Amino acid sequence: MEESLKKLKIRFNEVQQERARKTLEDILQAADGIVEEGDESAFDARTLATRSGYALGSLIKRLGAIENVFLYAIAKARSRHLNEIAIQLKGLGTQVDCKEFCVALAKESIHRIRKINPAVIRFYEKKAMTRAASLDEVFCYTDEIIEPLMGLIDANETQSFRKLSRSEAKYVCRSMFVFVDRPFVEGDPMAGTKAHEIMIIENLLRMLRV
């Protein structure tokens, strides 16, 4: 998460005093709640001021650009979801074959993406595009799943997975989230259907199976 935030220049004014740190923490917590609700129209300074209990002037002083705090909250929530997916997959153990793994990954990913308003993802991508020097800086968040995926493949005892280099794994992970996320983000009627799940599984198998 930190790397993607850094690339998009999402940072806050440095604070030294305990009171100032508490203020920033309160503001970030309020932003977390607003993002969790998934209403893009509430991603503004006035709503943040109301929820956090701080005046608009304090928000500007602490945050710089108001959108920073919402981009941060979205990145934080996304990182948490990726970590939870990795934990669920690790729990499958080392004897699960590639097809079982892909089915579990597809189901878990769809389950989690359903909890996110697609407008939140579109908000993040729209804002990130204006900040990024390259597309890599917008979509590098999928890099967070590279090491967990490679670790799971290396530990697996079924010999049903291809061995991936880190370079290949990077694009496997990005492709994975294209198949999972984009139907929801783009409003495709197939999003979340059985056909969508099958599409994810079949393409994961193409990328991962021996």
| pLDDT value, residue 31 | 93
| pLDDT value, residue 138 | 85
| pLDDT value, residue 203 | 98
| pLDDT value, residue 128 | 87
Our separate counts of H helices and E strands in the chain read 11, 0
| pLDDT value, residue 5 | 64
Contact 61, 69 (CB under 8 A): no
| pLDDT value, residue 168 | 97
Which domains, from first to last, does the chain contain? 2-67 (1.10.10), 74-208 (1.10.357)
Query: Going by C-beta distance under 8 Å and a sequence separation of 6 or more, which residues neighbour residue 128?
Result: 8, 71, 137, 138
- Please compute, for residue 195, the number of CA atoms within 13 A of its CA located in the half-sphere on the CB side: 5
**Which H, E and C letters describe 28-92, residue by residue?**
HHHHHHHHHHCCHHHCCHHHHHHHHCCCHHHHHHHHCCCHHHHHHHHHHHHHHHHHHHHHHHHCC
Consecutive 10-residue averages of pLDDT for the chain (210 residues)? 65 65 86 92 91 84 80 89 90 96 95 92 90 84 92 96 96 96 96 98 98
| pLDDT value, residue 8 | 63
Residue reference for tokens 């934080």: 76
